[in-house]
Amino acid sequence: MSAEYKNTILVKHVMRKVSPVCESDTLRDVALYMIKEAAPVIAVVENEIVRGVIYIQDLIDPFIPDYFNYLSDFQFVKTFGYLDAEVFSGYFKGLFLAHDIMREQFDYVEPEDSILKAMFYMHRKNITGIVVIEDGKYKGIVSRFDLIGRLYGTDTD
Partner 1 sequence: MKDGIELLLYFFFSQILILLGFLTPTEAWNFVDFNTLGLLLGMMIMVSFFKRTGLFEFLAIKSVKVARGNIFILFLLFFILTGVVSSLLDNVTTVLLITPVSILVADMIGVSPYPFLVGEILSSNIGGTATLIGDPPNIMIGSATGLSFIDFLLNLGPAVIIISIVVILYFKFVVGKRFSLKGSFDPAIVSLEPQKAIKDWGLLKITLSVFTLVLLGFFTHDLLNIPPSIVALFGASLLLILTEVHPEDYLKEVEWTTLFFFAGLFILVGALENAGIMEMVSEHILNITSNFKLLVFIILLTSAVISGIIDNIPFVAATIPVIFSIMNKMHYPNSEVLWWALALGSCLGGNATLIGASANVVVAGISEKTRTPVTFRNYLKHGIPVTIISIVISALYLYLRYLM
Binding site for partner 1 (CB under 8 A): 65-68, 70-73, 75-84, 86, 90
How far, in Å, CA of 42 to CA of 18, rounded?
8
| Choice between 35 and 83, CB closer to partner 1 | 83
Q: How far is CA 126 from CA 12, 18, 39, 43, 123, in A?
A: 22, 21, 16, 18, 5
| Choice between 43 and 101, CB closer to partner 1 | 101
User: What's the closest the beta carbon of residue 25 comes to partner 1, in angstroms?
Assistant: 24
| Choice between 81 and 136, CB closer to partner 1 | 81
SS3 state of residue 17: coil
| Choice between 4 and 66, CB closer to partner 1 | 66
| Choice between 93 and 124, CB closer to partner 1 | 93
User: What's the closest the beta carbon of residue 100 comes to partner 1, in angstroms?
Assistant: 14
User: What's the closest the beta carbon of residue 66 comes to partner 1, in angstroms?
Assistant: 4
Secondary-structure breakdown of the chain: helix, strand, coil percentages, each rounded to the nearest 5:
40, 20, 35
User: What's the closest the beta carbon of residue 65 comes to partner 1, in angstroms?
Assistant: 7
Q: Are 101 and 54 in contact (CB under 8 A)?
A: yes
User: What's the closest the beta carbon of residue 12 comes to partner 1, in angstroms?
Assistant: 41
Other CB atoms within 10 A of residue 37 CB: 15
Cα-Cα end-to-end distance for the chain:
21
